[in-house]
Amino acid sequence: MENLGQFLPLILIFAVAYFFMIRPQVKRQKDEKKFASALKKGDRIITKSGLHGKVVELNDKDFSCVIETMAGRLKFDRSAISMEMSKKLNAPAKK
């Protein structure tokens, strides 16, 4: 029984790390993957580097998309699109 008492703090540290660090990161990755697969033509988006544009073409073969900006059309990987910023961009304005 004493051996269990010695490992209890280590087990608690692992449990806390799992629930506060690992689990939220896995959920966030799953949400980002779902967001990237739900993109459709006409969606206004912001890339993680801050580029604003509109999706004009989606390619499921290499999981990329073509974005139309004021400078022209650019091809990006869907993982380069910011989920949080794009949701804020498309959210209705509060009065």
The residue segments making up the domain with residue 21 are 1-38
Domain count, the chain: 2
Kindly state the DSSP code that residue 30 receives in the 8-state scheme.
H
Task: Report the C-alpha gap between 53 and 47 in whole angstroms.
Answer: 8
Same domain, 94 and 52: yes
What is the identity of the amino acid at 85? M
Same domain, 95 and 58: yes
Same domain, 1 and 26: yes
| Upper half-sphere CA count for residue 16 (Cβ side, 13 Å) | 6
Same domain, 47 and 65: yes
pTM as predicted: 0.66
CATH number at residue 79: 2.30.30.140
- The pLDDT tens digits of the residues spanning 35-51 come to 888 888 988 998 988 89
Examine the pLDDT at 95 and tell me if it is beyond 60.
no
Return the pLDDT at 54: 92
Percent of the chain with pLDDT over 90: 27
